[in-house]
Amino acid sequence: MASLDPLTAGVRTVALAAAALLAVAACEPGAVSEAPSARCAEAGAQCALPDGPLGVCERAPCRAGEAAPCFACVPQH
């Protein structure tokens, strides 16, 4: 395999850095920094289990008097 000359390697490094910057900038603000909810409102959302680890919201039977749909935070694994 032939090695790249310094100019080609530099151009490739700049291109990769620019691509990474664009990928990060394309993310919705707060998409990766929002804290998980303590209360579930939709299936598939992340939630915080009482003992600390992250969970996922799943549909669950409603308690007496609760309006459907109902969700519960369950462990992910």
Is 1 contained in some domain?
Answer: no
Provide the pLDDT for residue 28: 62
Q: Where are the beta strands (DSSP E) in 1-77?
A: 46-48, 54-59, 71-75
Provide the pLDDT for residue 63: 93
Exposure string over 12-34, b if 16+ CB within 10 A, otherwise e: eeeeeeeeeeeeeeeeeeeeeee
Q: Give the total number of structural domains in the chain.
A: 1
Provide the pLDDT for residue 45: 94
Output the pTM of the full model: 0.52
**Residue 48 belongs to what domain range?**
6-75
Assess contact for 57 and 76: CB atoms under 8 A: no
Provide the pLDDT for residue 2: 59
Is 68 contained in some domain?
Answer: yes
Task: Walk along the chain (77 residues) in steps of 10 and give the mean pLDDT of each run.
Answer: 68 73 62 75 93 92 94 91
Q: Which SS3 state, helix, strand or coil, does residue 18 take?
A: helix
Provide the pLDDT for residue 37: 83
